Amino acid sequence: MLDLSDQMANQQKLQRSLAALQNAHPELDTLAALVLLALRESPPAEKGFSSALLARHLNIEHALIRRACAELEDAGWVSTQPAGGASPALRVIRYEQRYFIVFH
């Protein structure tokens, strides 16, 4: 478990990364930028990332994550496809070539 100083350092790094991404791409709203950062920090996944798992990881309502993923798809940052079955989850696949800036 992270101690308080580690948690604060992680939060500050996230805030700097989010600010840098939004400065470089002001067209992204805050939630879409946060989802993009979460995707960037996740280990590579051959079949993409589950929007439901992203929602749990970020502690944000799944419908909001789906909306952010749709915005990112419209802007060409990711592609999405249904996860399958009766689940409302999406498989989110990031486009690596869009990650050309450093988020630190």
**pLDDT (tens digit, 9 = 90+) per residue, 8-52?**
777 888 889 899 999 999 999 999 999 999 988 877 777 889 999
Q: How far apart are CA 103 and CA 59, in angstroms?
A: 22
SS3 call for 50:
strand
Q: How far apart are CA 104 and CA 96, in angstroms?
A: 17
Model confidence pTM above 0.75: yes
What is the CATH number for 34?
A: 1.10.10.10
Beta bridge partners of 50: 91
Q: Classify residue 12: in a domain, yes or no.
A: yes
The tokens of 90 are what? 């999406």
Looking at the structure of the chain, the number of domains it has is: 1
Question: What is the DSSP code (8-state) at residue 13?
Answer: H
Q: Classify residue 60: in a domain, yes or no.
A: yes
Q: How far apart are CA 86 and CA 68, in angstroms?
A: 21
Q: Which of 16, 57, 21, 48 is nearest to 36 (CA)?
A: 21
The tokens of 67 are what? 């909306």
Q: Classify residue 104: in a domain, yes or no.
A: no
**pLDDT (tens digit, 9 = 90+) per residue, 59-104?**
999 999 999 999 999 999 999 988 887 788 999 988 864 444 444 4
- Its domain, for residue 23, covers 4-98
